Structure 1
């Protein structure tokens, strides 16, 4: 039986390939983690119900492929997004550089101007392999005036906080729109 909800919001997970977007989706929706890597073909999705201020909110979370060959498909999902979670891998400098070079451009070109955005550095459990400092992520987020978290899908660090924050921001932005 489907749970009731007061609001329905679409949230996109975007970023390069192999940075853990699917693991984040699996962690928030199913509270599971797998070390097995399966490339997302085009777009995948799942749903999560969250309660904020006694209001039931259903998130439809879209996991987009980071592969260039699926860019036209994934770009079409930006328009309907209420929120976008930009993801990079703290152990992969290039994935961080591509946030500004590729992904922020995709948001500007394809998303509604009032879309809520949040930046997350995934794999914070791999401190010994870190290539992107927490300060660098924070500076980038401050420059764009967006929230920032470092998360670990594997160890379930800050996953819930990320989704609660973006949901609150979307709700404030949309008022009582359902």
Structure 2
């Protein structure tokens, strides 16, 4: 499953991805700006089945100057992950722009997706209320979750949502194919 991550710089895309892929072993206090795309791969078991989904996670730069290069690498993703910082109103507002760019690469197909509000450990600095983000995600056809990479809270949740959603979509396509044969 090719999973494209998007969001503004410094929202925690790289931290979230690295913490998930390393099972919590690599939280760094200082990250350097991602200037391209980093590919991380992890297999996720699908609950109540013997199946698993191999996620190819494309962690991309959030700076505008790199976004044209990213769009080539975003060609035909299977799942979408948009990440924002709950303490940064602008990063939430820009989610619409990131989603539009990713969906422009999906050839009109509906893909599983998740909106992730990160940095929930910064309670006193929250600028985007959870209910507001949940409502926006629902309107956009995305699932929603919140995380704190620093506190290791719900780090695996967005990836499990994507793996389960992709698996369900795959099973539906297989069943449709079998019904046609």
TM-score (norm 2): 0.87
Q: What is the correspondence of 1:12-31 to structure 2 with a 5 Å cutoff?
A: 12-30=4-22, 31=24
Task: Quote how far apart the aligned CAs of 1:28 are.
Answer: 0.5
**CA distance in 2 between partners of 1:46 and 1:28 (Å):** 10
Judged with a 3 Å threshold, the aligned counterparts in structure 2 of structure 1 residues 114 and 143 are, in CA distance, closer, same or farther, namely closer
Asked if structure 1 preserves the Cα contact closer than 8 Å seen for 2:53 and 2:167, the reply is no
Q: CA separation in 2, counterparts of 1:108 and 1:50? A: 24
User: 1:142 offset after TM fit, Å?
Assistant: 1.7
Q: Given the two structures, how large is their TM-score scaled by the length of structure 1?
A: 0.89
Larger Rg: 2
Query: Bigger CA drift: 49-58 or 84-93?
Result: 49-58
Q: Secondary structure at the match of 2:29?
A: coil
Count of paired positions: 168
Output the CA distance in 2 between the equivalents of 1:148 and 1:28. 17
* Corresponding residue SS for 1:13: strand
Name stretches of at least 5 consecutive residues in structure 2 with no aligned partner: 175-181
* CA-to-aligned-CA distance 1:137-169 (integer Å, 9 cap, x gap): 111012113210011111121121211111111
Structure 1 unmatched runs, 5+: 1-8
Q: Distance in 1 between matches of 2:99 and 2:5?
A: 13
